[in-house]
């Protein structure tokens, strides 16, 4: 019996090694692609892709963008938001090559991790298509956007993500973030929580809710975009759904993790502080009365 944990640990280590090798291989391929390919990064898919980057990650953000640009479907717009005027003025040659292929690089205020989506929400009065957000430190697979778009077509009023957890409750309060369970099916629910790192697509109704809320997140959870986004969806009765039964965490770009937000929000339990400050008693009641999301079938609603 004691050999089983050792074997599982060995398997995990082997998987990590192969994942790291795959990430380095992907980095090399995408760097070559950036140098050689001239086809547009945009296409006909009725979706906007939005991303932000900062600091040292600006040296590798082109890898994340290029991984999306090689996708089986391409968005009608791809936007990179920068909040540093100097970085905007001195964009890397790789970013300039992407711009010549259709990438939009925009200068904006610093909204922390919310810069990923909020400048786009703020920039438009009407929304006629969904918004897909991506992180600047991930190598996304070729079907990443296609999977999100297909999920949106099937359930256009929901939030969809590649990696979803379920908010756990304990004695009438929200459990610690680290105790939330992994979603292992595609059932929708108000207590489903999408992790932005793997990519999320938001319907126009959600974008309108975010625009109505404005930048209130700067007062309540300036360092936790995923938490704010779920809280807004909960208040609006918008369910969240995982696109596949198995959650996906895609390879990270080598060298991009020197200052990861998760080190603070998860490692130092900062997420629990944001949650306590943001979710009210009525929010907890809404989660409690939402029912067991695992009992729902795709497309059914547990919103009142």
- Structural domain contains residue 180: yes
- What whole-number distance in Å separates Cα of residue 138 and Cα of residue 190? 27
- Structural domain contains residue 303: no
Which range, 79-83, 167-171, 251-255, has the best average confidence (pLDDT)? 79-83
Q: Note down the domain range covering 189.
A: 3-295
- Structural domain contains residue 270: yes
- Structural domain contains residue 304: no
> Is residue 295 scored above 50 in pLDDT?
no
Q: Could you tell me the CATH number of the domain that includes residue 125? A: 3.90.550.10
> Is residue 113 scored above 60 in pLDDT?
yes
- Tens of pLDDT, residues 191-224: 999 999 999 999 999 999 999 999 999 999 999 9
| Higher pLDDT among residues 185 and 294, named by residue | 185
Is the entire prediction scored with pTM above 0.75? yes
Q: How many domains does the chain have?
A: 1
- Structural domain contains residue 12: yes
Cβ contact 51:80 at 8 Å: yes
- Tens of pLDDT, residues 268-282: 578 999 999 999 999
Q: How confident is the model at residue 303 (pLDDT cuts 50, 70, 90)?
A: very low
- Structural domain contains residue 231: yes
- Tens of pLDDT, residues 47-90: 999 999 999 999 999 999 999 999 999 999 999 999 999 999 99
- Structural domain contains residue 216: yes
- Structural domain contains residue 90: yes
> Is residue 304 scored above 80 in pLDDT?
no
Cβ contact 190:300 at 8 Å: no
């Amino acid at each position: 019996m004691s050999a089983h944990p050792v074997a599982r640990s060995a398997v995990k280590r082997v998987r990590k090694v192969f994942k790291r090798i795959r990430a380095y291989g992907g980095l090399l391929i995408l760097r070559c692609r950036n140098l050689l390919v001239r086809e547009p990064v945009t296409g006909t898919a009725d979706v906007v892709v939005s991303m932000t980057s900062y600091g040292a990650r600006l040296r590798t953000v082109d890898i994340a963008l290029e991984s999306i640009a090689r996708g089986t479907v391409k968005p009608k717009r791809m936007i990179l938001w920068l909040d540093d005027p100097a970085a905007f003025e001195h964009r890397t040659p790789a970013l300039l090559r992407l711009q010549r292929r259709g990438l939009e690089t925009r200068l904006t205020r610093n909204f922390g991790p919310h810069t990923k989506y909020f400048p786009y929400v703020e920039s438009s009065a009407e929304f006629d298509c969904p918004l897909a957000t991506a992180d600047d430190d991930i190598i996304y697979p070729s079907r990443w956007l296609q999977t999100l778009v297909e999920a949106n077509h099937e359930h256009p009023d929901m939030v969809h993500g590649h990696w979803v957890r379920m908010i756990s409750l304990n004695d009438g309060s929200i459990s610690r973030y680290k105790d939330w369970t992994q979603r292992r099916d595609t059932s929708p629910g108000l207590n489903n929580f999408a992790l932005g790192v793997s990519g999320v697509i938001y319907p126009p109704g959600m974008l309108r809710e975010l625009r109505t809320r404005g930048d209130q997140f700067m007062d309540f959870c300036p360092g936790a975009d995923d938490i704010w986004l779920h809280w807004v969806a909960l208040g609006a009765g918008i369910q969240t759904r995982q696109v596949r039964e198995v959650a996906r965490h895609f390879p990270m770009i080598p060298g991009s993790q020197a200052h990861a937000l998760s080190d603070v929000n998860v490692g130092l339990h900062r997420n629990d502080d944001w949650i306590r400050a943001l979710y009210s008693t009525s929010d907890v009641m809404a989660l409690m009365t939402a029912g067991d999301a695992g009992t729902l079938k795709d497309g059914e609603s547990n919103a009142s």
